[in-house]
A and B are shown apart, each in its own frame.
Chain A
Amino acid sequence: MKIFNLAGTVLKSLTHPAATRLYPFVPRVYEPKTRGHIEIDIETCILRGICDRRCPTQAISVTKAERSWSIERLRCIQCNSCVELCPTKCLSMGTAYTDPSFGSVRDSFTQAPKPEGAAKPAVPAKPAAVALPTTPTSADDARVPGDA
């Protein structure tokens, strides 16, 4: 049985800088893999809606008629499955966390209107990917081939 067991640790703590960061004055350094928030490059999106259907928390919604993609930030659990499923890889995972907020936050992105007759800029090389039905009839159809 000893006393002053932590004396060394206490002395070390006195002479060392704080183990914590002075948030928010010292910015947080994120790891390259940190899953912070979902980002979208809306102009390359083909509005297939796989992310919408497969999002486990139904945070994403894709409206083809309005050419818009939106995400409810507080519902998103950063599971990264939409990023993995996206056929054009227009979705990516940003490292920084979103700002704190009161109430729900829905970020919407709308594609700029295209001139009549112009080719869609983001159609992937494989035409088969575009030919797939956008409204699947069963859960199996909603899955892209080879997804697990």
Chain B
Amino acid sequence: MANRTVVPFGPQHPVLPEPIHLDLVLEDEKVVEAIPSIGFIHRGLEKLVEKRDFIDYVYVAERICGICSFMHGMGYCMAVENVMGIEIPRRADFLRTTLAELSRIHNHTMWMGLLADAFGFESLFMHSWRVREIVLDVFENITGGRVIFSVCKVGGMRRDIDAAQAEMLLTALDRVEKELEPLISAFSQEYTVLHRLTGVGVLSKQAALDLGALGPMLRASGWSLDTRKLGYAAYNDLSFDPIVETAGDCMARTQVRIRETLQSIDLIRQAVPKFPQGDIAAPVKGTPSGEFFARLEQPRGEAIYYVRGNGTRHLDRFRVRTPTFANVPALVQTLQGCQLADVPMLVLTIDPCISCTER
């Protein structure tokens, strides 16, 4: 048996976008065990709910994460609205769905770039981020912010999408789709990409379920589970099927995300013509009393938002279960038996967001 060496990996490492720490037990170049530890970026945002007015807390909830910021705000608002029994206008539902799907495109194109960076394909990384820039410009035009939008509020939305903006949005999506074409072809057919991704980090169908994997990680292992099918916001009115791949390796996870990007474009194209007329926000009266679990599908998987109100303007408890936290056991499983050079790529394929995980 070869000598065992422990290599500390992270929390600060050139290839890691976020601070996760892994103790990698190596036999020569092969990883035999990986011990994860998190806790480097805890900010105490959940505790802050006791100090902030429940309406103003949306701004804090959005800052849990920079990438799925809109969805964190939306999840919090959904939970509070359910506690207070507020029926939000249908137009607000459609606006939320549109911005959520745009966030998914933003996240996935960014992730494609990070993955390319992780296996050393720098130009593919830059081209992916060039596409992402189009989405950020759309966000700025619609909401006024590029990363944090502050447009979701308890009771609905704060900013509307008018006809000109909807037109601009659809034109931008055509551009995104066109510019994604060569990138998709590179990710699916390029020799070097296939060499690095195919057959690496296989997560079997049963293991994915047993370890509680979520989102693209789960769907790449053959499970057709997508929280959007619950029909929250406007997803009831849109037709789509969860994207499923069966191989369970890094390539399958990449393909799921690429196809989800195209699916999001399709969902927005379905949603925009269906925008109902009317208000974008319902009046909010009283204070939340009671508790609720809201679930929604983030780009990284299912997120759960728990809210408990005590009848005052300050909530008792706000708790977020983020998809990255649920995907860490699956990551540890896939790391066992891989080569040291594949570790950054495997960490990337769960699309880790440690800021969300630790809040």
Q: Identify the A interface with B (CB < 8 A).
A: 1-3, 5-6, 8-10, 19, 31, 33-35, 54, 56, 77-81, 84, 93, 139-140, 146, 148
Which secondary structure characterizes the binding site on chain A? loop
Indicate the member of A5, A8, A56, A84 with the most B CB atoms within 10 Å.
A5
Interface presence of B319 (CB below 8 A): no
**B124, B133, B140, B186: which contacts A19 (Cβ < 8 A)?**
B133
Structural contact, A33 and B159, CB atoms closer than 8 A? yes
Which stretch (B52-60, B102-110, B263-271) binds chain A?
B52-60
Structural contact, A56 and B283, CB atoms closer than 8 A? no
**A8, A19, A33, A77: which contacts B143 (Cβ < 8 A)?**
A33
Structural contact, A1 and B191, CB atoms closer than 8 A? yes
Q: List 23 A-B contacts (CB under 8 A).
A: A1-B189, A1-B190, A1-B191, A5-B182, A6-B127, A9-B183, A19-B133, A31-B141, A33-B140, A35-B145, A56-B56, A77-B59, A78-B145, A78-B150, A79-B150, A80-B150, A80-B158, A81-B56, A148-B55, A148-B154, A148-B155, A148-B282, A148-B283
**A31, A78, A139: which contacts B53 (Cβ < 8 A)?**
A139
Give 1 or 0 for each of B123-139: 1 = CB within 8 Å of chain A CB.
11001001001000100
Q: Which residues of the other chain, B, contact A139 by a CB distance below 8 angstroms? A: 53, 313
**B140, B183, B313: which contacts A34 (Cβ < 8 A)?**
B140
**B55, B140, B153, B284: which contacts A31 (Cβ < 8 A)?**
B140
Q: How far is the CB of B252 from chain A (nearest CB, A)?
A: 17
Q: Which residues of the other chain, A, contact B194 by a CB distance below 8 angstroms? A: 1
Chain B residue at minimum C-beta to C-beta distance from A84: B158
